[in-house]
Chains A and B, each alone.
Chain A
Amino acid sequence: MAWKWIELFTGSLDQKKRYRRYKARIDALPEPYGTAASAFQRYFMYYGGIVDGETSLSMLGDFADLWERAAADATPVRAIVGDDPVEFAEAFAQAYTGKRWIDKERERLIVAIDRAAGGQE
């Protein structure tokens, strides 16, 4: 399951180390925070779409901060994620503006429509 994440970090040893450190922080969370955080992390792997390692690492770091804070304050899981965990996960992931695989296609669409519309001007 973790291979997709690891694959992101094959570029740099430093990034690999940082990834392991964040992973360890998530693994060290007390229950039920550990279970909740791991469930989100799994979802991020599938939803993610963030291609570069630096962005993924900063996201993981912030995510670990969030759950460590919640655990320290004993904030209920529901008060953190709200009624709709999918909504929360996607809003969280979207805050990171790393390069997404869709960016290239977006560019292509914009250029194609510029061309099509340009003929009418």
Chain B
Amino acid sequence: MGKQMTEMLKGTLEGIVLASLSGRPAYGYEITSWLRDQGFADIAEGTVYALLIRLEQKLLVDVEKVPSEKGPPRKVYTLNAEGLEYLDEFWRTWGFLADRLAHLHQGGK
């Protein structure tokens, strides 16, 4: 992943991960592979894991531990009301930024 791409992703990844949870609850690996399918090919599982922990600390997701056949229980993340509100705001902010940047790109006309 290019350096610029990494930097830009850093600011938007919370929204991206929340968006990936808006359809249905999921655990870390499911979210990572979904993001890879969506074209974020180089995203590391640990990055998503760290981010999910941050979302959990900010109380934007609910967490349930589900036993798995091998290894430790999987943590399943569900978007809660605060998370949904945060996501709405993320999309509004994104819309604003995308609009302003497109405007700049066209030479400020």
A interface, CB within 8 angstroms of B: 62, 64-66, 68-73, 75, 78-84, 87-88, 91-92, 94-97
Please tell me if the beta carbons of A83 and B1 are within 8 angstroms of each other in the complex.
Answer: yes
**B67 within 8 Å of A by Cβ?**
no
Q: Shortest CB–CB separation between residue A111 and chain B, in angstroms?
A: 26
Complex interface: chain A residues within 8 A of B37 (CB): none
Number of A-B contacts (CB under 8 A): 63
Whole-angstrom distance from the CB of A35 to the nearest CB of chain B? 15
Partner of A95, one of B28, B29, B57: B57
Instruction: Select which of A72, A79, A82, A96 is within 8 A of B71 by beta carbon.
Output: A72
Given contacts A72-B71, A96-B57, 7 further A-B contacts (CB under 8 A): A62-B53, A69-B29, A80-B46, A81-B44, A91-B50, A92-B49, A97-B57
Whether A83 and B42, one on each chain, are in contact in the complex, defined by CB atoms closer than 8 angstroms, is yes
Is B70 an interface position by the 8 A CB rule?
Answer: yes
Closest partner residue, chain A, to B1 (CB atom): A83
Question: How many angstroms between the C-alpha atoms of A85 and B46 in the bound complex?
Answer: 10
Tell whether, in the assembled complex, residue B29 and residue A92 are in contact, meaning their CB atoms are under 8 Å apart: no
| CB-based nearest B residue for A76 | B45
Bound-complex Cα distance A88 to B50 (A): 8
On chain B, the residues within 8 Å of A78 by CB distance are 44
**A82 surroundings in chain B (CB, below 8 A):** 42-44, 46-47
